[in-house]
Amino acid sequence: MKLQYVETSNHARFMAGVGAVENRGSREACILLLNGEPGTGKSCTVDNWGSKRNAVYLEGMPGMSSAFVRDYLADQTGVVATSKFAQYKELVSHFQESRQPIILDEAHHGLPNKAECIEYLRRIAEQANVILVLVCHSSERHRFGKSHVAHIATRITAAPELKEASEADCGVYLNTLCEVAVDAGIVKAVHSQTGGRYRLISNACRTLEAIAQKKGATALAAADVKGVRLCEDAMAALRKGA
């Protein structure tokens, strides 16, 4: 399986959100809230964009405090200061000069205590005029709209939601990453079996390559995989067990 970022419809959704934040009227509204169900490519999408923009990436942790976030951000940027205020000033200066976006994955872990962790990042992003990208699961999205975190919600310019792959997305994904050529029938089968979740599509891609290797083939058609389970959907099995 090839290692390459695939620009699907989710990429377009995310980039439209980035464009909205970059072209906002209010400097304060510097936040993009990226959300989606598991397996829709949130991490892959922000990793690709973040690497191109040299973004500072932070991973939200359960129980994290504002002190943790300050130290985390200082560690990632190499900022050294003798006091909290000096550290804040140095961080703002760093981002003003570097123009690096800030990404907080698992951002819902920053919501307790009136979102003090996110508020700290937001203030730095606002002062430096850079984008703050918050990443969360779709089930957590509503928490960012609660009244007690309105100081965060009112500064969100875009909230793109990544979706499961369409059949067309599935075709682009397989034809870009799979080491063997596949026909439209296989694309349809993979889309049906995976429900459009990119993690499962990747697993199906590996299975297709193994089948082709066994057959000594460089291309596969739907008839070659008739009746074959191309990936295992553990979530479906768990739901069934429940």
In this prediction, residue 236 carries a pLDDT of 59
In this prediction, residue 234 carries a pLDDT of 61
In this prediction, residue 125 carries a pLDDT of 97
Do the domain assignments include residue 1?
Answer: no
Do the domain assignments include residue 3?
Answer: no
Ranges under pLDDT 70 in the chain: 234-242
Name the residue with tokens 């309105």.
Answer: 150
Residues 137 and 32 in one domain: yes
In this prediction, residue 141 carries a pLDDT of 94
Domain termination residue (choose one: 162, 180, 199): 162
Q: Nearest to residue 57, comparing CAs of 34, 29, 82, 81? A: 34
In this prediction, residue 82 carries a pLDDT of 86
Do the domain assignments include residue 144?
Answer: yes
Residues 41 and 156 in one domain: yes
As given in the structure block, the two tokens for residue 50 are: 């973040």
3-class DSSP string for the chain: CCCCCCCCHHHHHHHHHHHHHHCCCCCCCCEEEEEECCCCCHHHHHHHHHHHHCCEEEECCCCCCHHHHHHHHHHHHCCCCCCHHHHHHHHHHHHHHHCCCEEEECHHHHCHHHHHHHHHHHHHHHHHCCCEEEEEEHHHHHHHHCHHHHHHHCCEEECCEECCCCHHHHHHHHHHHCCCEECHHHHHHHHHHHCCCHHHHHHHHHHHHHHHHHHCCCEECHHHHCCCCCCCCHHHHHHHHC
Domain termination residue (choose one: 121, 145, 162): 162
pLDDT digits (tens, 9 = 90+) for 168-212: 999 999 999 999 999 999 999 999 999 999 999 999 999 999 999
Residues 157 and 172 in one domain: no
Domain total in the chain: 2
Residues 136 and 188 in one domain: no
In this prediction, residue 237 carries a pLDDT of 53
- For residue 88, give the CATH number of its domain: 3.40.50.300
Residues 214 and 118 in one domain: no
Residues 84 and 143 in one domain: yes
Do the domain assignments include residue 101?
Answer: yes
Residues 156 and 196 in one domain: no
Do the domain assignments include residue 2?
Answer: no
- Domain housing 171: 167-241
Residues 15 and 126 in one domain: yes
pTM: 0.90
In this prediction, residue 242 carries a pLDDT of 46
